[in-house]
Amino acid sequence: MALLEILHYPDPRLRQIADKITVFNDDLRKLGDQMLETMYQSKGIGLAAIQVNIKKRLIVIDVSETRDKPLILINPDIIKKIDKVQSEEGCLSVPGFYEQVERYNYIKYEASDIDGQLYTNEAEGLLAICIQHEIDHLNGKLFVDYISELKRERIAKKIEKLKSQGKTVKRDKVPYSI
Ligand code: QAP
Ligand code: CO
């Protein structure tokens, strides 16, 4: 199956607001599967459709150690969040950079499954943080938006410079431990 191309900050397409999904069909299943494959291949724990230039409210996540617990969340929304924590984050769209941001350690959320069935669930720890990070993507927001403008601009310049040299950013560190 085909891998999808991940957009890199500061690509303006990462600032788009994703549209709500209303059609649940085989094309949507295929998109979910391709996003999971792309995420696994990049050693990620989460990926939002916006990151592969698809303006739909779909995110995929797997925070399991065994890398065999895929989650597909459609039209996800947070309905309750408690317990602020600091989280060291990275992002497949900001390769090679990691910063501390503030998140909630516990959330209650709502989402549709791949068949369009709406449900609510709760999450804590890394999964809760990952859901918050990915929902931000659907609203055009990146983790670097929580750090200083100076740091953010430096990161943007470094990524652009590496790209202009045709280099890929080193990816041996991952911004989480599972
Ligand atoms: C979001 O991020 C996240 O720079 C998902 O070299 C991150 O999958 C949620 C990655 C941290 C919670 C905590 C980034 C892999 C993957 C890199 C990712 C890299 C290799 C990031
Ligand atoms: Co991200």
pLDDT digits (tens, 9 = 90+) for 104-134: 999 999 999 999 999 999 999 999 999 999 9
Residue 63's pLDDT is: 98
Residues 6+ apart with CB under 8 A from 177: none
Q: Is 4 in the pocket of ligand 1 (CB under 6 A)?
A: no
Strand ranges of the sheet holding 58-61, from the earlier edge strand across to the other edge: 46-48, 58-61, 71-89, 99-112, 118-124
Residue 174's pLDDT is: 72
Here the tokens at position 33 are: 């599967």
Å from CA of 136 to ligand 1 middle: 14
Q: Ligand 1: which residue has its CA nearest to atom 2?
A: 91
CA dihedral sign of residues 35, 101, 159, 95: negative
Give the ligand at the shortest distance from the Cα of 101. Answer: 1
Give the ligand at the shortest distance from the Cα of 48. Answer: 2
Residues of the chain short of pLDDT 50, as ranges, are none
Q: Is 61 in the pocket of ligand 1 (CB under 6 A)?
A: no
User: pTM here?
Assistant: 0.96
Q: Is 92 in the pocket of ligand 1 (CB under 6 A)?
A: yes
Residue 1's pLDDT is: 79
Of 66, 172, 177, which Cα lies nearest the Cα of 130? 177
Å from CA of 93 to ligand 2 middle: 6
Angle at 169 between CA 164 and CA 174, to 5 degrees: 155
Q: Is 175 in the pocket of ligand 1 (CB under 6 A)?
A: yes
C-alpha span between 1 and 37 (Å, rounded): 8
Residues 6+ apart with CB under 8 A from 138: 17, 18, 48, 49, 50, 57, 59, 76
Å from CA of 12 to ligand 1 middle: 20
